[in-house]
Amino acid sequence: MTDWSRISRKKQTMPGFVCKALLEGGLSNAFQQRPAYQQNDYLSWIKRAKRKETTEKRLNQLIEELRSGDTYMNMYWKK
């Protein structure tokens, strides 16, 4: 279970297309295992995109970073 108690920014809801992509990629669990701030940041970042192409690019980056397991927003991250 993700602990959201330390998040000071507005908690983001997951758009259906992100949930679908995570399920199809078998990455829902990997996303849930990330810290709450990362989950929130990813969702906020994807939702702020103005163009469809940007949304897709950001979603693809999320998918790739979850697959690699050691990257967060193009930065090295260790669980």
Q: How confident is the model at residue 5 (pLDDT cuts 50, 70, 90)?
A: confident
Taking the CB of residue 12, how many other CB atoms lie within 10 A of it?
18
Backbone angles phi, psi at 76, to 5 degrees: -60, 135
Task: Write down the pTM of the prediction.
Answer: 0.89
Instruction: Identify the pLDDT of residue 3.
Output: 77
62 CB-near residues (< 8 Å, 6+ apart): 18, 31, 42, 46
> Domain map of the chain by residue range?
16-76
74, pLDDT greater than 80: yes
